[in-house]
Amino acid sequence: MKPGSDRLLDVEELTVRFGTEDGAVLAVDAASFALGPGEVLALVGESGCGKSVTALALTGLLPRSAAVSGRITFAGRNLPGLAERELRRIRGRDIAYVFQEPMTSLNPVLTVGRQIGEVLRRHQGMGGSAARRRAAELLELVGIPLPHRRLGEYPHQLSGGMRQRVMIAMAVACRPRLLVADEPTTALDVTVQAGILDVLRTLRAEIGTAVLLITHDLGVVADIAERVVVMYAGRTIEEAHAEALFARPSHPYTRGLLDAVPNPARHADGGLREIPGRVPVLATSPDACTFADRCGHADGVCRTRRPAFARGPAGHLVRCWHPLAVPVPP
Amino acid sequence: MTPTLEIVDLVKHFGPVRAVDGVSLTVGVGEVVGLVGESGSGKSTLGRCVTRLVPVTSGQVRIRGRDIALLSRRALRPLRRDFTIVFQDPSSSLNPRMTVGDIIAEPLRLHRLGSAATRRARVIDLLDQVGLPADVVRRYPHELSGGQRQRVSLARALSASPSLLVADEPTSALDVSVQASVLNLVGRLQRDLGFACLFITHDLASVEFLAQRVAVMYLGLLVEIADRAELFAAPRHPYTQALLSAAPIPDPAVQRARRRIVLSGDVPSPVDPPPGCRFHTRCPVAVERCAVDVPPLRPVGPAGALVACHLVDDDGTAPEVSAAMPAPSLGS
Ligand SMILES: Nc1ncnc2c1ncn2[C@@H]1O[C@H](COP(=O)(O)OP(=O)(O)OP(=O)(O)O)[C@@H](O)[C@H]1O
Ligand SMILES: Nc1ncnc2c1ncn2[C@@H]1O[C@H](COP(=O)(O)OP(=O)(O)OP(=O)(O)O)[C@@H](O)[C@H]1O
Ligand SMILES: [Mg+2]
Ligand SMILES: [Mg+2]
């Protein structure tokens, strides 16, 4: 988003370290990004790069073994400075979460209606028939047919796609200003996935909810995200409008990620492109580019100096000593 | 030539669940057939029946001409080396207490193929083929990355030189970049070793990359089988059309201008599938007849495609299913 415009969420230099038996893990390394009201921002990157940890850190959901530093400003308030009681109020009411596996987040012994009703009671003090009516409205909003019948059903009676919709219905019950969706469609087939993405679009249009969408599916990103933040080994390494990122990736890692996606137009010339090597798990933040070992453009500077998050040749933010010099179209 | 795999009218019911309800499909020698379709349509169940991991209710599974569908476990044992399966999650299918070397050699040992020395040599050879360094033989699965583990499961599946490999979502648990390397590997091994492959996935792009033919499944039945190029260029069954239209293209400029066929209505249950065409309850172009008559999977068009739809003509002309811009859905 443009600097200076009012921000809903502003994450600055977020750092998360875990103490584990095998030593420290630097899961998030001074990550910075911001989200405007009603904006859909995608956070992408390979497994283990710190996407989920970033999402959980926002509202203090990480275990005690995590040491968190940095600034997280939400609607003008510094979240890490708030008491747990206050955070709990923000969670669910202002910031809602949806995770990949709805079955583990839904209570198997309560009906869908009871579970949505509970959220409405807790956060909005709504009860009885008003809650029931609102619950049915919410199911309808997320595209579940016959909502009144579904309210009386248990999670196991629903398909995976419907369970995920119920999760979203619960998440938006209080009209949150920010929805954090961590791989919300990964377990679903493409027709169901497309329906869930429609639901996110609807929420944005109807309630003005901003969405932080975590995914590694670049097709999903292309479908719905306005802006994209790419993470690598805990660092945010590129940030741009979706169109610009796909058309003119500036970081060699982003380029590699885009090239690895199967693309029929390229199949003929010798298979899919791979990125050799793997994402490092780091204990401390090196004075180097963390992608240098896998990068075809890396030189001495990359191995000895930390690149800053700077404006790249295509006008978007990139953390690279040798950003790809793609000409900006007229 | 006898096809490597010939599935004839295969049925698999789990109690009242009609998971696979009469499927016929052939995979030729050295051919890769992609199997796609809705979640819960029976793809994995079909793969597990073919490799006899679950008992078959009825029908035939001919592997190089020999029907194994109803063979006893005992009669099956010596034949098992000829067909293998790899799964989505390599960490749950590899024994965590065995070294990589032992895991890969296990099928050879079980089938008493070669001496200990030739088996060791074969393991090194297989590691090389799947692109892993020889020193991983002494490592344990948890010491490897997801992509490396999937390479180990491929090496193991291919160790006894099977003529058929069933791959059930082999790349779904992997990162895009690792996915690319595993897909490249499967493609290369398949060309080099010439095994036939039933490749199950919900990732249409990888099917387009790897498969020569594609079969589409809906609620326990195949609704379309066609050559890859034909299927992707001109899908005929309305469900296939919907499926392809819903797969997002990783390019915002293209994706955002695209229209999609929106399927409304509930996904029906395999316990109580709809009468007539099983897709008619959600089909945007269904007519009265579709709710009554079961459409057979029949040849249409000049190139030998098979489609189960009353609305597709014998010459291959398919109904046009209108697509919409993905408007915010406000329920049905
Ligand atoms: N509770 C924890 N204790 C120790 N390390 C952790 C913990 N949670 C996460 N990590 C580590 O932090 C790093 C970032 O993990 P995270 O779950 O954020 O990755 P991710 O980008 O969400 O990956 P994926 O795409 O696989 O979900 C990883 O190296 C992970 O192993
Ligand atoms: N062991 C089992 N017992 C009872 N029902 C089962 C069993 N295994 C599968 N089913 C049911 O059979 C149907 C087909 O499932 P299957 O796993 O084959 O689908 P799939 O096409 O592989 O789906 P996905 O794309 O989600 O992997 C589903 O309704 C499923 O719930
Ligand atoms: Mg994650
Ligand atoms: Mg399956």
Q: pLDDT by residue (tens digit) across B260-275?
A: 998 887 778 889 999 9
Binding site membership of B18 for ligand 2 (Cβ less than 6 Å): no
Which residues of A, range 147-166, sit inside 8 Å of B by Cβ?
A: 147, 159-161
Q: Are strands B66-67 and B58-63 parallel, antiparallel or unpaired?
A: antiparallel
* Predicted interface score ipTM higher than 0.85: no
A291-319 residue pLDDT tens: 999 999 999 999 999 999 988 776 689 99
CA gap B23, B8 in Å, rounded = 6
Binding site membership of A52 for ligand 1 (Cβ less than 6 Å): yes
Closest-CA distance, B307 to chain A, in angstroms, reads: 20
- pLDDT confidence of B27, banded at 50, 70, 90? very high
- Mutating to test ligand 2, I would choose from B38, B41, B57 the residue with most ligand atoms within 8 A of its C-beta, which is B41
Question: Per-residue pLDDT for B182 more than 90?
Answer: no
- Name which of A83-97, B213-227, B277-291 the model is least confident about: A83-97
The mean per-residue pLDDT over the stretch B141-152 comes to 86
Q: Which class is B5-211 in CATH?
A: alpha beta
Task: Measure the N-to-C terminal CA separation of chain A; round to a whole number of Å.
Answer: 22
B4-26 residue pLDDT tens: 999 999 999 999 999 999 999 99
Contacts by A88-92, CB closer than 8 A, 24 or more apart: A90/A59, A91/A59, A91/A61, A92/A119, A92/A122, A92/A123, A92/A174, A92/A176
Amino acid at A161: G
- Going from N- to C-terminal start, the domains of chain B cover 5-211, 235-307
Give the pLDDT of residue B286.
Answer: 95
Average pLDDT, chain B: 91
The superfamily in CATH containing domain A34-49+77-225 is: P-loop containing nucleotide triphosphate hydrolases (3.40.50.300)
Residue B138: both structure tokens together: 């002494």
Q: Which of B263, B236, B248 shows the shortest CA–CA distance to B323?
A: B263
Residue A186: both structure tokens together: 């990964």
Question: Per-residue pLDDT for A103 more than 70?
Answer: no
Average pLDDT, chain A: 88
Distances from the Cα of A66 to the Cα of A61, A73, A84, A186, A197, angstroms: 10, 19, 16, 26, 32
The mean per-residue pLDDT over the stretch B265-287 comes to 91
Question: Per-residue pLDDT for A4 more than 70?
Answer: no
- pLDDT confidence of B227, banded at 50, 70, 90? very high
Give the pLDDT of residue A43.
Answer: 97
Which of chain A's residues have a Cβ under 8 Å away from the Cβ of B188? 271
C-beta of residue A71 within 8 angstroms of C-beta of residue A29: no
CA gap A247, A263 in Å, rounded = 15
Distances from the Cα of A94 to the Cα of A133, A174, B278, angstroms: 22, 8, 43
A65-97 residue pLDDT tens: 999 999 999 999 999 999 999 999 898 889 999
Q: B176 in contact with A at a CB cutoff of 8 Å? A: yes
Q: Which of A307, A327, A328, A326 shows the shortest CA–CA distance to A238?
A: A307
The mean per-residue pLDDT over the stretch A275-293 comes to 88
Question: Per-residue pLDDT for A330 more than 60?
Answer: no
Question: DSSP secondary-structure letter at A286?
Answer: -
- pLDDT confidence of B332, banded at 50, 70, 90? very low
Question: Per-residue pLDDT for A187 more than 80?
Answer: no
CA gap A74, B104 in Å, rounded = 52
- pLDDT confidence of A265, banded at 50, 70, 90? low
Tell me the ligand closest to A51's alpha carbon.
1
- Name which of B208-212, B233-237, B262-266 the model is least confident about: B262-266
B76-93 residue pLDDT tens: 999 999 999 998 877 778
A19-53 residue pLDDT tens: 877 788 899 999 999 999 999 999 999 888 999 99
The mean per-residue pLDDT over the stretch B48-72 comes to 96
Using the beta-carbon criterion (under 8 Å), do A271 and B187 form an inter-chain contact? yes
Query: Count of A–B CB contacts within 8 Å?
Result: 152
CA gap B168, B92 in Å, rounded = 14
Question: Per-residue pLDDT for A5 more than 60?
Answer: no
Which of chain A's residues have a Cβ under 8 Å away from the Cβ of B253? 243, 246-247
Distances from the Cα of B265 to the Cα of A143, B240, B284, B331, angstroms: 10, 17, 10, 10
The mean per-residue pLDDT over the stretch B303-310 comes to 96
Give the pLDDT of residue A71.
Answer: 96
- pLDDT confidence of A102, banded at 50, 70, 90? low
